[in-house]
Structure 1
Amino acid sequence: MDGISSIYGAQYLNNTTASDKVEDSLSKDYSTSSDDELMNVCKQFEQYFVEQVFKEMKKMIPEEEDDSTSGVSTLDYFEDTLTQEYASMVTEKNELGIAQTLYDQMKINYNL
């Protein structure tokens, strides 16, 4: 376990498995789920999607060439955390409507 993961624990390690969690949650059968459970899964998907869009947007910004690599993993961790928080804020404000659209479609598909 590196320094960051030992300091911050499992949350740091879980960043690498976010896509697996989303994939697992979307592959389940929600025909017996409550409205809240279904909406929660849709919001998780929207948050993951927005996070990935933000990360891809960041890649388009040219990086400065700097020879110092000290603190890179720490900086990456905090950038990832900040990106997750931004994605969470966008999702909670319901500004994009991806979660609501997905929720409505899943209700139709599962005849709920």
Structure 2
Amino acid sequence: MDVSTISTYTDYLTKQNTKADELRNTLNKTDYSDADDEKLLDACKQFESYLLEQVFKEMQKTVDCIKSDDDSDPNQNLVDYFRENTLQELASTSTEKEGLGIAQMLYEQMKRNYNL
């Protein structure tokens, strides 16, 4: 296995974990008692997008039955990278266009619970 592939793959995994960490930090550091409606709704949409992304990833695992265990394919990391980016964009677009309604329900509950 090529050493540059390991470095690239490590960078790839680091980037994938960054999105979850950013969302967690945003939710933990934000005081929603003085948040405006737009900021609160944006946080709820980010959560719904992340949730959809995780669902799509699990769904993808059910159809990846032809995936080879051979590490000799130099393009596999690139394919995985673009698959992950595609799933992220699909989740983000789905949330912005229609969504499941999770963001709206979460938004309404937070407004009610925090008396915003």
TM-score (norm 2): 0.80
Aligned to 1:45: 47
SS at match of 1:60: helix
Instruction: Mark the runs of 5 or more structure 1 residues left unpaired by the alignment.
Output: none
Residue 17 of structure 1 is matched in structure 2 by 18
2:111 aligned to which of 93, 102, 107: 107
- Correspondence for 2:59: 57
TM-score normalised over the length of structure 1: 0.82
Runs of at least 4 residues of structure 1 off by over 4 A?
Answer: 3-6
More relative contact order in 1 or in 2 (CA 8 Å, sep 6+)? Answer: 2
Displacement, 1:62?
3.9
The structural deviation recorded for 1:86 is 0.6
Q: Find the aligned partners of 2:10 and 2:67 in 1 and give their Cα distance.
A: 27
**Of Structure 1 and Structure 2, which has the larger fraction of its residues in helix?**
2
Q: What whole-Å deviation, never above 9, does each CA across 1:37-77 have from its counterpart, x for those lacking one?
A: 00110010000000000001111124215334221111111
- Which position in structure 1 is the counterpart of 2:76? 72
Identity across matched positions, percent: 44
The code of the aligned residue for 1:90 comes to S
